[in-house]
Amino acid sequence: MIYTIKGCVCERPNVPSHVSPSHRYLPPVLSPRSQLSLPSVSCTPHCMEPSEDKQLQRIDSLPSADLASSSSNASPILTTEDSRSTSSSGDISSTSGSSGEIPTTILTETTALIVPKDVDLPTEEELPVAVTVRQKCVGRNNKGLSWGVKSVIGRRKEMEDAVAVIPGFMSRSCEDVGGCTARGSRTSVEVSPVHFFGVYDGHGGSQVAEFCKERMHQVIAEQWVNETVDHGYEWQSMWKAALSSGFERLDNELSTDAVAPEMVGSTAVVVILSGCQIIASNCGDSRAVLCRGAQTIPLTIDQKPDRPDELMRIEGEGGKVINWNGARVFGVLAMSRAIGDRYLRPWIIPVPEVTFMARTEEDECLILASDGLWDVMSKEEVGELACRILRRWRRSSTTDDKLPAQAVADYLTEIAYSRNSSDNISIIVVDLKSRKKRKHLKQ
């Protein structure tokens, strides 16, 4: 059962003795959704079209540098100082330079099978039903990919979000890594980069989120190799094992105060992209979605303390979920899994949920974001806006303009802020249409 608390702090129920009594029971760093007075967000695409179109016109007509100052409340959100871009690691450091692109190498793709004349081809009836053999991986050699990143402090006093984009964090053939949907194709056996994207939304401090940003991709790559050597499982099991053991190992590395105090934690949403697969793993309430055609498909499910399976797990371990500005573990933490937060073991666990999605030609983009975005925008709304901006930007942009994915990240950030998002806002947009395909789109 979920306990509900009304009234003041002194009425709080008993919490386990090892939960520090000095802990703030409603830490200001947590972001109870219910505390926010959110504008009502309509998920109906049609009713939002007029204003959205106006905004899109505006964004199109502005030189990109003006976007910062165009924010409605003349707020400093997009100034260099406040936007505190997410990474000092060079690849995504400056505000507008936070996007990136992997150069496309020219691929000579065979588009037709050459069949010797004297070979009898099977008639349609003779072919097994599921013989659709792709001739190339959906993402080709997984190069020619671009992305945009925006990470801003927003209305918070502290920046506790962190993001990581590590193109080519591993190099493997599509067949090796992703469970290639193009078996037998040439690109599926070529060694190609596998990309890593992570959004970490810290609470209680930024230490754990920062640590995840620096370490998560390394740990996962190492664990993947270990799993392959030790077990040689089927590819999905291997990835699940690598991600689970990677999250656990990272969490163990945080077990001393030298790295992070015990009451600091972070969400972690990580997406790994191979030529044919999208592998998403998640702890907490940051989210990843895939925009495919007109659909916006969630790749993660929030782990909230009132999710029935999570509630059962927490209570099974003797924990309590208390409704205090939303369901919270012991009235404190508004998510049921996280990295760090070792004062809330064993109820808060660093175990990720992992999902797999085969890429298709209809895939437009991936969006990973902290709840600074999702608190004020529905996934449908985010997906629809992202696709519109991408398509428009791809049609009109020249090589000097910012990347379409960066335009989306900037615009979504601006919208979230203008809707009074009270949290840090961090967004990664991955454009899944390669440059080559984009050229086709223009024709």
The residues that touch Zn ion, with contacts defined as CB under 5 A, are: 137, 174, 180, 182, 188, 275-276
Instruction: Please state, in angstroms and rounded to a whole number, the distance separating the CA atoms of residues 59 and 36.
Output: 27
Instruction: Please state, in angstroms and rounded to a whole number, the distance separating the CA atoms of residues 22 and 177.
Output: 47
Sequential DSSP letters for 145-185: -EEEEEEE-TT-SS--EEEEEEEEEEEEEHHHHT--SSTT-
Minimum distance, C-beta of residue 136 to Zn ion, in the bound complex (Å): 8
Minimum distance, C-beta of residue 431 to Zn ion, in the bound complex (Å): 18
Give the neighbor-by-neighbor strand order of the sheet with 327-329.
Answer: 2-4, 321-323, 327-329
Minimum distance, C-beta of residue 275 to Zn ion, in the bound complex (Å): 4
- By beta-carbon proximity to Zn ion, the closer residue of 366 and 415 is 366
The partner residues of 245 in beta bridges, in order of sequence, read: none
Give the 3-state secondary structure percentages of the chain, helix then strand then coil, rounded to 5. 35, 20, 45
Minimum distance, C-beta of residue 180 to Zn ion, in the bound complex (Å): 3
Instruction: Please state, in angstroms and rounded to a whole number, the distance separating the CA atoms of residues 314 and 306.
Output: 10
- By beta-carbon proximity to Zn ion, the closer residue of 12 and 186 is 186
- By beta-carbon proximity to Zn ion, the closer residue of 188 and 406 is 188
- By beta-carbon proximity to Zn ion, the closer residue of 275 and 352 is 275
Minimum distance, C-beta of residue 139 to Zn ion, in the bound complex (Å): 7
C-alpha closest to that of 201 among 286, 261, 272: 286
Instruction: Please state, in angstroms and rounded to a whole number, the distance separating the CA atoms of residues 68 and 76.
Output: 8
CB atoms within 10 A of CB 260: 26
- By beta-carbon proximity to Zn ion, the closer residue of 98 and 188 is 188
Instruction: Please state, in angstroms and rounded to a whole number, the distance separating the CA atoms of residues 86 and 261.
Output: 22
- By beta-carbon proximity to Zn ion, the closer residue of 95 and 187 is 187
Minimum distance, C-beta of residue 177 to Zn ion, in the bound complex (Å): 9
Minimum distance, C-beta of residue 178 to Zn ion, in the bound complex (Å): 6
- By beta-carbon proximity to Zn ion, the closer residue of 31 and 192 is 192
